[in-house]
């Protein structure tokens, strides 16, 4: 990710839970400012142990920016933790 902005926003998420290689797929999320982001592609998804709980991290894109969102499996909450512009100058 280029030009990363670290965030800590609680977000609303529409996701599909199924089976196979991608048992959870994020479809769309809504930021606190009301902006809705339509997910075009799922990058990596990986679980991380934080103490006794597991947080599932998803790297997604809407085609113009990359995002990292996290699902806290204990509290059942979603957070947007990073945003990166695709077109940032190096």
Span 8-17, pLDDT tens digits: 999 999 999 8
Range of the domain at 53: 4-85
CA distances to 32, 42, 47, 89 from 38, rounded to whole Å, are 15, 11, 23, 24
Q: In what order do the strands lie in the sheet with 41-50?
A: 36-38, 24-30, 4-17, 77-85, 65-72, 53-61, 41-50
What total of structural domains would you count in the chain? 1
Decide: residue 80, CB within 10 A, 0-12 exposed, 13-18 middle, 19+ buried: buried
Residue 43 lies in a domain: yes
pTM of the predicted model as reported, rounded to 2 decimal places:
0.86
Mean pLDDT of the chain: 91
Query: Is the residue at 42 inside a domain?
Result: yes
Judge whether 17 lies within some domain: yes
In a domain, 90, yes or no: no
Between the CA atoms of 3, 86, 35 and 41, what dihedral angle is there, to the nearest 10 degrees?
-130
């Amino acid at each position: 990710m280029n030009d990363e902005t670290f965030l800590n926003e609680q977000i609303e998420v529409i996701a599909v839970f199924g089976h196979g290689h991608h048992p959870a797929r994020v479809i769309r999320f809504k930021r606190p400012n009301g902006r809705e982001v339509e997910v075009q592609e799922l990058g990596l998804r990986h679980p991380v142990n934080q103490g006794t709980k597991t947080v599932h991290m998803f790297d997604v894109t809407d085609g113009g920016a990359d995002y990292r969102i996290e699902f806290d499996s204990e509290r059942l909450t979603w957070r947007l933790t990073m945003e990166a512009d695709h077109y940032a100058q190096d």
